[in-house]
């Protein structure tokens, strides 16, 4: 396998700390994750020992302040971690992605100081978080949810089902959305912190998926789950705002995941093409292969610039709704295209599980689906310049 730097243009926009952090995550991924990728894929499971190692190196609480046991780093570092992990295994990357760009980000913005002191140290130390918005009948139309929260005294009683919840099997804490006042429509939606051991809460079916198989995707069942008012995220009725603003950041994370996947698939194809011989020559001697690789490398670099630029816009406090949607849309296309082309460069062996190409190909498809389908991203982009 060639050194990563051989297949990447230099990124001069990263600080020294950011570059060192990226190198650390890359080394961890190569040493600790890569030997277990196919085993985890076959088992459809992310072992707890692997999760503990992610906490140990600090990538599960990248932006959490050091006051709460986090790394106290910036948003781009979270994006760099997702990219580097996805280069080796997109399943591990999405676990870190959800923890940082969805759960931690939302709680940092919306929790009270008292709530932060109670909950954030756990997310930095050893508790996996999950983001529970989707339901059987509300995917792209997320705010048509039927899960309800009924107020009884100082407690909300939640009933309903959530579906397609990433980290569902491993999580101990769920940022979960329910409607506390259905008569108000989406303005009744409220965010709650639901803990795994709350009576009436259960993790249901774990999906048997095409790709990112080591990442759990589960149903959640709520049967008269009593959630104290102290576990409301923001205020009653603000849930739609919490969800929308958090998903904008999450889309940058998915862009980084698909970018890392594309980089990993490209590097695998390049290494194979340098060794594979046909007609008495290595296949990189053929212009057709050279041009394929050149096109893929160009698309990956364009995606990287989009991901990093959008992350910087978020850090600078600028509006990045359009750029986040563009980044997610474009990088999911790149991930699928590069994975497909990489598999073709491998030829027949690429279609087998003896080489990494087929897994990258399977993992890539989800990029166009979760955290907003490609059509939803295009709709969001269009609305930003049509004023609708």
> Given this model, what pLDDT does residue 273 score?
98
Q: Which residues contact 221 (CB under 8 A, 6 or more apart)?
A: 161, 201, 202, 203, 204
> Given this model, what pLDDT does residue 13 score?
78
Please tell me the total number of residues recorded for the chain in this structure.
388
> Given this model, what pLDDT does residue 8 score?
54
CB–CB of 61/70 below 8 Å?
yes
We find that the CATH architecture of domain 130-238 is: Beta Barrel (2.40)
Collapsing DSSP states into helix, strand and coil, what is residue 45? coil
Could you tell me where the DSSP H helices lie in the chain?
16-28, 37-43, 48-56, 75-88, 90-97, 105-110, 113-125, 239-275, 287-315, 321-346, 357-364, 374-386
We find that the CATH architecture of domain 241-386 is: Up-down Bundle (1.20)
> Given this model, what pLDDT does residue 11 score?
52
Tens digits of per-residue pLDDT, 57-81?
999 999 999 999 999 999 999 999 9
Which tokens sit at 284? 């990189």
pTM reported for the whole predicted model: 0.95
Residues of the chain with CATH 2.40.110.10: 130-238
CB–CB of 142/243 below 8 Å?
yes
Residues of the chain with CATH 1.10.540.10: 4-127
> Could you give the count of Cα atoms lying within 13 Å of 314 in the half-sphere of its Cβ?
29
β-strand partners of 176: 132, 192
Residues of the chain with CATH 1.20.140.10: 241-386
pLDDT, block means (10 residues), the chain with 388 residues: 48 84 98 98 98 98 98 98 98 98 98 98 98 94 94 97 98 98 96 98 98 98 98 97 95 98 98 97 98 98 97 96 98 98 98 97 98 96 90
We find that the CATH architecture of domain 4-127 is: Orthogonal Bundle (1.10)
Catalytically annotated residues: 371
């Amino acid at each position: 396998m060639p050194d990563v730097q051989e297949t990447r243009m230099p990124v001069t926009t990263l600080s020294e700390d950011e570059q060192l952090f990226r190198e650390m995550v890359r080394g961890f991924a190569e040493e600790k994750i890569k030997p277990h990728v196919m085993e985890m894929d076959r088992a459809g499971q992310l072992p707890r020992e692997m999760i503990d190692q992610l906490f140990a190196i600090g990538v599960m609480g990248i932006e959490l302040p050091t006051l709460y046991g986090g790394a106290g780093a910036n948003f781009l570092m979270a994006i760099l971690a997702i990219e580097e992990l996805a280069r080796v295994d997109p399943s591990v990357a999405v676990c870190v992605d959800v923890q940082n760009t969805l759960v931690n980000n939302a709680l940092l913005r919306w929790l009270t100081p008292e709530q932060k002191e109670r909950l954030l140290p756990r997310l930095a130390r050893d508790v996996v978080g999950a983001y529970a918005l989707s339901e059987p009948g509300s995917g792209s139309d997320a705010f048509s949810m039927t899960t309800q929260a009924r107020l009884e005294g100082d407690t909300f009683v939640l009933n309903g089902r959530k579906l397609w919840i990433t980290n569902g099997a491993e999580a101990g804490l769920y940022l979960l959305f329910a409607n506390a006042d259905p008569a108000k429509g989406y303005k009744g939606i409220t965010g709650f912190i639901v803990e795994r051991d709350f009576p009436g809460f259960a993790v249901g079916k774990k999906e048997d998926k095409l790709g990112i198989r080591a990442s759990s995707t589960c149903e959640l069942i709520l049967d008269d789950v009593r959630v104290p008012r102290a576990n409301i995220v923001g205020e009653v009725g603000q849930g739609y705002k919490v969800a929308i603003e958090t998903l904008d950041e999450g889309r940058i994370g998915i862009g980084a995941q698909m970018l890392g996947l594309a980089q990993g698939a490209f590097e695998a194809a390049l290494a194979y093409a340098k060794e594979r011989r046909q007609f008495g020559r290595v296949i990189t001697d053929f212009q057709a292969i050279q041009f394929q690789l050149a096109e893929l490398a160009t698309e990956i670099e364009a995606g990287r610039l989009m991901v990093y630029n959008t992350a910087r816009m978020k850090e600078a406090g600028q509006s990045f709704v359009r750029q986040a949607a563009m980044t997610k849309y474009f990088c999911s296309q790149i991930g699928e295209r590069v994975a497909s082309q990489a598999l073709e460069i491998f030829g027949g062996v690429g279609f087998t599980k003896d080489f990494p190409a087929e897994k990258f190909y399977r993992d890539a498809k989800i990029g166009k689906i979760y955290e907003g389908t490609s059509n939803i991203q295009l709709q969001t982009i269009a609305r930003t310049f049509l004023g609708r």
